[in-house]
Copies of this chain bind each other. A is one copy, B any other.
Amino acid sequence: MCTKKQIILWFFIFFTGIVSGQSRKIINIPDIPGYQTLKCDFHIHTVFSDGTVWPTVRVEEAWEEGLDAIAISDHIEYRPHSKDVVADHNRSFEIAEPLAQQKNVVLIRAAEITRSMPPGHLNALFIRNANLLERDDVMDAIKEAREQGAFIFWNHPGWKAQQPDSTLWWEEHTELLDNGLLHGIEVYNSSEYYPEALEWANEKNLTMLCNSDVHDPIRMSYDLSTGHRPMTLVFAKSKTTGGIKEALFSQRTAVYYDKTLIGKSEILEPLFFASLAFKDNPLKIQNGASRRIEITNKSEVDYELELVQPGVGFDAPEHVILKAGQITPLTISGNSDEISQAKTLNIYYGVKNMLLNPEENLIVTFSFRNL
């Protein structure tokens, strides 16, 4: 027999520290018009190079965190466990692939071409056979990757081990770029942000990437109860390898780390407004009166807004934080008679955690009808 108390108590057994491994988080970043927003990490290691976990762990971690796609990119040239782990360069993909299929995580075949600077480390995604990338001359390896159809990006361009004093763009990178052998660049890697890489991405039309470069178990590097791994948001027509490839070659990505977003305004602006819900009724504010608009932020990002110019005929708050998953009121107050004639009230905010360039935030416009 099951008494009332027992029913209630039974319930609580599940609130322990036991992580069941049986549920998947949802990363609350919305889709934008025309595209799915895929959450991806394209730079990951396993015991098959210098990582410390079995390839299936990477799929399991990605599924649990809510990622849509990953690339396991073990080093071609650096395999410190090779005395004990004996396999070719395609093996980590092969081991992970069946689980990825079962879990519906898109697994992209990849490898990291690992050389001294220049050109440094490069990831090649969408390759067919990683073994063929083991070449003496780095250019041969890169060309081989490209011949296999690879999307190639420069990893951690400001990594202190390779560029200790300043983050430089080398002649060799220009050469790669000019020959169609360099398509993207990591603006963020692991826990480092490279503002120079952001500028280069904008200037040279490179796809921006943001990856974990994880070697250890993911939760050893990121506290998933309060944060998230760095990831590349890919705005794709479909959640498939092909959809991701098309989006990467079309520069439809954003950088997402520590609840901060970096990208182009044509991406970030729709992403911002797709995160929000509020009623669009005419405000009908007059001088001396005020109105409260309740804004629901459906996303997991606290958007921090800073007023960039005073309103014409009205006051709006200078600083607003639209807290993730909560409702925040925006109070608009008429401060002159000008407001009575205004058909539309435009409020311009800078979004402090959405960046277009190292020194430039996204500016968004809230536009309310007033009459």
The stretch from A33-41, A67-75, A353-361 touching chain B is A353-361
Choose among B18, B84, B225, B321 the residue that contacts A85 (Cβ–Cβ < 8 A).
B84
Residues of A191-244 contacting chain B, CB below 8 A: 191, 193, 195, 216-228
Residues of A1-32 contacting chain B, CB below 8 A: 1-26
A18 touches B227 (CB 8 A): yes
> How far apart sit A6 and B353, CA to CA, in the bound complex (Å)?
11
Chain B residues lying within 8 Å of A265, measured Cβ to Cβ, are none
Given A5-B358, A24-B294, decide whether A321 and B14 contact each other with a Cβ distance below 8 A. yes
Does A57 lie at the interface of the complex (its beta carbon under 8 Å from any beta carbon of B)? yes
- Digit string of A258-281 for contact with B (CB within 8 Å is 1, else 0)? 111000000000000000000000
Does A304 lie at the interface of the complex (its beta carbon under 8 Å from any beta carbon of B)? yes
> How far apart sit A277 and B360, CA to CA, in the bound complex (Å)?
39
A53 touches B217 (CB 8 A): yes
A19 touches B193 (CB 8 A): no
B19 touches A326 (CB 8 A): no
Choose among B6, B60, B296, B360 the residue that contacts A26 (Cβ–Cβ < 8 A).
B296
> How far apart sit A47 and B3, CA to CA, in the bound complex (Å)?
39
A191 touches B23 (CB 8 A): no
Does A335 lie at the interface of the complex (its beta carbon under 8 Å from any beta carbon of B)? no
- Min CB distance A56 to B, Å, is 7
> How far apart sit A61 and B216, CA to CA, in the bound complex (Å)?
11
Does A329 lie at the interface of the complex (its beta carbon under 8 Å from any beta carbon of B)? yes
Does A91 lie at the interface of the complex (its beta carbon under 8 Å from any beta carbon of B)? yes
Does A161 lie at the interface of the complex (its beta carbon under 8 Å from any beta carbon of B)? no
Does A159 lie at the interface of the complex (its beta carbon under 8 Å from any beta carbon of B)? no
> How far apart sit A124 and B326, CA to CA, in the bound complex (Å)?
33
Choose among B9, B10, B60, B86 the residue that contacts A216 (Cβ–Cβ < 8 A).
B60
- Digit string of A168-200 for contact with B (CB within 8 Å is 1, else 0)? 000000000000000000000001010100000
> How far apart sit A218 and B18, CA to CA, in the bound complex (Å)?
10
> How far apart sit A5 and B91, CA to CA, in the bound complex (Å)?
40
17 contacts between A and B (CB under 8 A): A3-B359, A4-B193, A4-B359, A8-B13, A8-B260, A9-B12, A9-B193, A9-B355, A12-B15, A16-B191, A16-B258, A18-B258, A23-B326, A25-B325, A52-B57, A53-B53, A102-B292
